[in-house]
Amino acid sequence: MIHHYFSRDPNKKAKFIFNFIAPVYKVIDNYLDEDFTSGIKLLNNEIKLEHKEVVDIGCGTGAWGSQFLKFGVKNVTGIDFSEKMLKIASKKHKNMKFNSGNAEDLNEIEDNSFDISTASYILHGVKKDRRRKILNEMKRVSKEYVVIHDFYGKTSKFITFLEFLERSDYKNFKKNFESEMKEVFSSVKIIPLKDTALYIGIK
């Protein structure tokens, strides 16, 4: 319902937005494909992905999580709260598992269930306190690594327009996220890409 876009509840607002744009999200996936591909190649140089078990939080249509399959991971599970995104993802990526869930409360996932928990373009969309909750949940379900793929440096006009619609916190994210990561993880490494970066947290 359109009134959810104006809701004070950030979860209702975000869920409305992503359900609304799900039918055309493949256009966004195609726009981001080069960045995703180069990012996963660099990540594989840093962390040997072969045989790893991966959970992709806020997986959307599965474009980011599916990149891991190119490097021999054991399996990838995608989690998202948008039913329409999950429906599209399950049709596109038959070799992945998909479940409905909330990034701030992954209560159906046991501690240390995956070698890597990852998220792409999710954390910038929420305020600092919610980012902290999500990072802690991702840390809890991961055995060792948390990999965040998100904004870094300059942002294109196209993405800036999308962030305006989402009413995201991407400006504060870019300014403060490295220090926020360091508050949660024992070690943090940043690998810059074109206008994004891989933020790697080690438990």
Measured between alpha carbons, how far is 155 from 197 in angstroms, rounded to an integer?
Answer: 12
pLDDT of residue 168: 77
Q: Which phi and psi (to 5°) does residue 140 adopt?
A: -60, -45
* Order of strands, sheet of 53-57, starting from the edge strand that comes earlier in the sequence: 97-100, 75-80, 53-57, 114-120, 142-151, 196-202, 187-192
> Does 2 have pLDDT greater than 50?
no
Residue 11 predicted with pLDDT over 60: no
Distance (Å, whole) CA 34 – CA 194: 10
d(C-alpha 46, C-alpha 1), whole Å: 43
As a whole number of angstroms, the distance between CA 43 and CA 61 comes to 21
CATH code of the domain containing 114 = 3.40.50.150
Span 26-30, average pLDDT: 57
Residues 173-198 have a mean pLDDT of 95
Contact 103, 57 (CB under 8 A): yes
Of 137, 73, 82, 132, nearest to 105 by C-alpha is 137
Contact 47, 116 (CB under 8 A): yes
Model confidence, pTM: 0.83
Please say if the pLDDT value at position 14 is more than 80: no
Average the pLDDT over 160-173 and give the result: 76
Q: For 95-147, how does the pLDDT look when each residue is reduced to its tens digit (9 = 90+)?
A: 999 999 999 999 989 999 999 999 999 999 899 999 999 999 999 999 999 99
Domain count, the chain: 1
Contacts of 64 (CB under 8 A, 6+ apart): 36, 56, 118, 120, 121, 149
User: Could you list the residue range(s) of the whole structural domain that residue 33 is in?
Assistant: 2-202
Highest mean pLDDT among 13-17, 36-40, 81-85, 110-114: 110-114
- How many CB atoms are located within 10 Å of the residue 182 CB? 12
**Please, is 18 exposed, middle or buried when counting C-beta atoms within 10 Å of its C-beta (0-12, 13-18, 19+)?**
buried
